């Protein structure tokens, strides 16, 4: 077995090969070959799932470790390699230790799903264990993928709603892009420092439309905004199936050392801060408007939204060394403890909303 590097998911709850446990009295010999032979014997006798359900502690971990040793080569050879080739990741398709970080995460997710499926459903005698696992690869991983999307609040089976299809004029590429968006918000993968995988979608646009020259990331970015604008026409649907699951993605971490990152400054520093503050203010007003329109009490909404929006670190501060400048948000959330300040902010926000022709102050 090649050395498989440990990623963040492995360290979160221990080794992927040690997710479970069992009774010490049933513990097999310590060497891996004996544990695998024990696993195969249980499968051959039709007792694998039943035994796994009864075990706990160290023996369950050893049974799962044996399952891991059997499962991972099948997953890579029969599933991961094909998926990576289809994605154009030819290096990732060669060996497990060549998988990129994002692809490695997917591989471990699939292995975990297949192990769980094996130890749950192997209740009949299984003579050829690898063949049985191969047959179960697609249902096991698809089911795990759907459950993962459900936990994130995304659509488990992303499909294009009829109203969205109509609003996009049944355009083949825009409707396909809408489905891509619905799929993307429900997966754990990120697009580096971008929100959307525009490079990959530009390639898919070229494949679908035949317009390879015009299918660049900048054009696709505009099309994404066009689709999102249509989705936002149904705010509750958009919040449930796009905004919320998208917010569950883990923010990417820059791999380059901080002293090697030299931002290109195109304006004075205060201009960036002012722009960020305006963006945050607009975000807060939009959120307050949406919630007040649903009948929520204005003062409580204002306090919660401002604490959430302005309580985050200001993005502009990421481009400067800590404590190099004063915090422009300092004291904003702390001021919410003062009743008079809250009343003044509430009246100001409601006046802005009313001025936009929406909801008048309650």
2 assigned to some structural domain: no
* Residue ranges making up the domain that contains 329: 262-362
Report helix, strand or coil for 160. Answer: coil
Query: Quick check: 201 and 207 in contact, CB under 8 A?
Result: no
Q: What is the pLDDT of residue 17?
A: 40
Q: What do you get for the CA distance between the two ends of the chain, in Å?
A: 67
Q: What is the chain's alpha carbon radius of gyration, rounded to the nearest angstrom?
A: 26
Asked if residue 346 and residue 234 are part of one domain, the reply reads no
Asked if residue 289 and residue 349 are part of one domain, the reply reads yes
- Residue 361's alpha-carbon distances to 227, 253, 255, in angstroms, are 32, 42, 48
161 assigned to some structural domain: yes
Query: Quick check: 67 and 115 in contact, CB under 8 A?
Result: yes
141 assigned to some structural domain: yes
Asked if residue 142 and residue 31 are part of one domain, the reply reads yes
What CA–CA distance (Å, rounded) separates 82 from 111? 15
Domain count, the chain: 3
Q: What is the pLDDT of residue 45?
A: 93
Asked if residue 184 and residue 146 are part of one domain, the reply reads no
Strands (E), 39-128: none
- Rounded to 5 degrees, what are φ and ψ at 142? -65, -45
Asked if residue 240 and residue 295 are part of one domain, the reply reads no
Residue 140: CB atoms within 10 Å: 24
Closest CA to 246 of 316, 164, 155: 155
The whole-model pTM stands at 0.46
286 assigned to some structural domain: yes
Asked if residue 171 and residue 115 are part of one domain, the reply reads no
Closest CA to 277 of 323, 232, 319, 312: 312
Asked if residue 112 and residue 54 are part of one domain, the reply reads yes
Give the end of a domain, one of 250, 277, 304.
250
Q: What is the pLDDT of residue 320?
A: 43
Burial of 260 (0-12, 13-18, 19+ CB in 10 A): exposed
267 assigned to some structural domain: yes
Q: What is the pLDDT of residue 273?
A: 56
Q: What is the pLDDT of residue 284?
A: 77
255 assigned to some structural domain: no
Asked if residue 177 and residue 138 are part of one domain, the reply reads no
Q: What is the pLDDT of residue 240?
A: 84
Asked if residue 125 and residue 28 are part of one domain, the reply reads yes
Residue 200: CB atoms within 10 Å: 16
274 assigned to some structural domain: yes
1 assigned to some structural domain: no
Q: What is the pLDDT of residue 70?
A: 94
Give the end of a domain, one of 131, 151, 171.
151
Tokens 């049944």 locate to 170
Asked if residue 144 and residue 19 are part of one domain, the reply reads yes
Burial of 47 (0-12, 13-18, 19+ CB in 10 A): middle
Asked if residue 123 and residue 12 are part of one domain, the reply reads yes
Burial of 295 (0-12, 13-18, 19+ CB in 10 A): exposed
Q: What is the DSSP string of 5-64?
A: ---HHHHHSS-GGGS----GGG---SSHHHHHHHHHHHHHTT-HHHHHHH--THHHHHHH
Asked if residue 294 and residue 214 are part of one domain, the reply reads no
Q: What is the pLDDT of residue 65?
A: 92
Residue 144: CB atoms within 10 Å: 17
What CA–CA distance (Å, rounded) separates 96 from 73? 9
Q: What is the pLDDT of residue 10?
A: 45
Query: Quick check: 40 and 129 in contact, CB under 8 A?
Result: yes
Per-residue pLDDT of the chain (362 residues; tens, 9 = 90+): 454 554 544 444 444 444 333 333 345 556 788 899 999 999 999 999 999 999 888 888 999 999 999 999 999 999 999 888 887 788 888 999 888 877 888 898 889 989 999 999 999 999 999 999 999 998 888 777 777 666 666 666 778 889 999 999 999 999 999 988 988 887 766 767 788 888 888 888 988 888 888 888 999 999 999 999 999 999 988 888 888 888 777 665 554 454 454 444 444 555 555 666 666 777 778 788 888 888 888 888 887 877 776 655 444 444 444 444 444 444 555 556 667 777 777 788 777 777 655 444 44
């Amino acid at each position: 077995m090649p050395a498989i590097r440990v990623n963040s998911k492995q360290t979160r709850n221990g080794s992927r090969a040690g997710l479970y446990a069992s009774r010490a009295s049933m513990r097999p010999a310590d060497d891996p070959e004996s544990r695998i032979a024990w696993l195969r014997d249980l499968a051959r006798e039709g007792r694998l799932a039943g035994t796994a359900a009864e075990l706990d502690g160290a023996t369950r971990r050893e049974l799962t470790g044996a399952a891991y040793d059997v499962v991972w080569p099948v997953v890579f050879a029969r599933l991961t390699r094909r998926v990576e080739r289809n994605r154009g990741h030819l290096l990732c398709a060669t060996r497990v230790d060549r998988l990129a970080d994002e692809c490695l995460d997917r591989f471990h997710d699939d292995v975990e799903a297949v192990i769980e499926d094996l130890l749950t459903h192997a209740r009949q005698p299984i003579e050829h264990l690898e063949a049985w696992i191969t047959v179960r690869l697609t249902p096991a991983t698809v089911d795990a993928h759907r459950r993962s999307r459900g936990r994130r609040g995304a659509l488990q089976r992303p499909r294009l709603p009829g109203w969205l299809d109509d609003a996009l004029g049944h355009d083949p590429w825009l409707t396909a892009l809408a489905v891509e968006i619905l799929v993307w918000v429900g997966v754990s993968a990120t697009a580096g420092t971008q929100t959307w995988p525009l490079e990959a979608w530009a390639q898919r646009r070229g494949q679908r439309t035949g317009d390879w020259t015009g299918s660049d990331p900048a054009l696709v970015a505009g099309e994404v905004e066009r689709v999102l604008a249509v989705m936002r026409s149904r705010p509750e649907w958009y919040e449930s199936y796009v905004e919320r699951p998208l917010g569950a993605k883990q923010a990417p971490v820059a791999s380059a050392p901080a002293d090697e990152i030299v931002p290109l400054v195109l304006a004075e520093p205060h201009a960036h801060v002012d722009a960020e503050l305006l963006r945050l203010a607009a975000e807060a007003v939009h959120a307050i408007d949406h919630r007040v329109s649903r009948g929520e009490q204005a003062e409580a909404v204002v306090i919660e939204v401002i604490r959430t929006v302005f309580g985050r670190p200001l993005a502009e501060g990421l481009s400067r060394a800590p404590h190099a400048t004063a915090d422009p948000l300092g004291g904003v959330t702390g001021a919410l403890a003062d009743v008079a300040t809250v009343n003044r902010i509430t009246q100001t926000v409601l006046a802005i909303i009313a001025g936009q022709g929406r909801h008048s102050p309650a």
